[in-house]
């Protein structure tokens, strides 16, 4: 709990906010109200998060065989998944999908199932460069684990919103669907 709070504070200290000018909107998708210890400290807005919506682009995907000794990187456009050595126990084929969607979302799946748990955390960077600037520059964005079918927000991920690069980075020990929320 305190480790996440320290990580979130450190991430917030290095975020650089940039100015912008075009628009981006958000849809309100119901999210469970998790107990967030940092909210008790007044560090975060307790308003209901919503998925960021942006103009849809053509979907992209990347598939790769990741081994336990060297790990690997999956990249679809500027969205990347870095899987370090030791994260998988056996060679495993993964697919990173950035669907053609109004939401800034991704799904990463192993060839054999819908979900996967890693031995050590992997780093995921989601590109939201297709979005306009006005709404996304107002505050920090976050990544949420989502239900890929209903788009319901399931769990917030500790993440770093880089306004200059227009990316958001987080670490995880499991793969599923993820989307950017405000």
CATH of the domain at 92: 2.60.220
pLDDT of residue 114: 67
Q: Write the CB contacts of 2 (distance below 8 Å, at least 6 apart in sequence).
A: none
Of 45-49, 81-85, 110-114, 153-157, minimum mean pLDDT range:
45-49
At residue 27, does pLDDT exceed 70? no
Least confidently predicted of 18-27, 44-53, 149-158: 18-27
- Give pTM, 2 decimals: 0.73
Instruction: Look at the chain and report how many structural domains it folds into.
Output: 1
Residue 41 to residue 51: CA distance in whole angstroms? 24
Say which DSSP state 67 is in.
Answer: B
Q: What is the pLDDT of residue 126?
A: 97
pLDDT tens for each residue of 139-180? 889 999 999 899 999 999 999 999 999 999 999 998 889 999
Weakest mean pLDDT among 8-12, 46-50, 168-172: 8-12
8 lies in a domain? yes
Any idea which of 3-7, 114-118, 163-167 has the lowest mean pLDDT? 3-7
Which pLDDT belongs to residue 141? Answer: 92
Residue 88 domain flag: yes
In a domain, 15, yes or no: yes
Q: Does some domain include residue 115?
A: yes
Q: Which domain holds residue 89?
A: 2-33+49-181
CB crowding 68-77: b at 16 or more within 10 Å, else e = eeebbebebe
Whether 123 is covered by a domain: the verdict is yes
Kindly tell me if the per-residue pLDDT of 41 is higher than 50.
no
Domain for residue 9, yes or no? yes
Q: How far apart are CA 124 and CA 83, in angstroms?
A: 9
Backbone angles phi, psi at 3, to 5 degrees: -65, -45
pLDDT at 21 over 70: no
Whole-number pLDDT of residue 143: 96
Q: Bridge partners of 106?
A: 178
Q: What is the pLDDT of residue 136?
A: 75
Residue 41 lies in a domain: no
pLDDT number for residue 135: 64
| Burial class of residue 61, CB neighbours in 10 A (0-12, 13-18, 19+) | middle
Please classify residue 117 by burial: count the beta carbons closer than 10 Å to its beta carbon, then call 0-12 exposed, 13-18 middle and 19+ buried: exposed
Tell me whether residue 40 is in a domain: no
Terminal CA-CA length for the chain: 22
pLDDT higher than 50, residue 31: no
């Amino acid at each position: 709990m305190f480790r996440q709070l320290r990580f979130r504070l450190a991430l917030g200290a290095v975020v650089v906010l940039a100015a912008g000018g075009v628009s981006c909107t958000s849809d309100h998708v119901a999210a469970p109200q998790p107990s967030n210890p940092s909210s008790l400290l007044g560090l975060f807005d307790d308003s209901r998060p919503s998925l960021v919506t942006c103009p849809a682009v053509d979907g992209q995907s990347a598939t790769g065989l990741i081994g336990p000794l060297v790990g690997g990187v999956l990249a679809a456009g500027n969205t990347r998944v870095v899987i370090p050595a030791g994260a998988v126990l056996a060679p495993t084929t993964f697919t990173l999908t950035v669907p053609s969607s109004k939401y800034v979302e991704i799904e990463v799946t192993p060839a054999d199932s819908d979900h996967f748990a890693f031995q050590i955390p992997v780093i995921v960077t989601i590109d939201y460069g297709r979005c306009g600037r006005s709404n996304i520059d107002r505050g920090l964005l976050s990544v949420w684990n989502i239900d890929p079918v209903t788009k319901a927000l399931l769990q917030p991920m500790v993440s770093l919103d880089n306004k200059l690069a227009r990316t958001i980075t987080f670490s995880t020990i499991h793969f599923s669907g993820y989307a950017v929320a405000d």
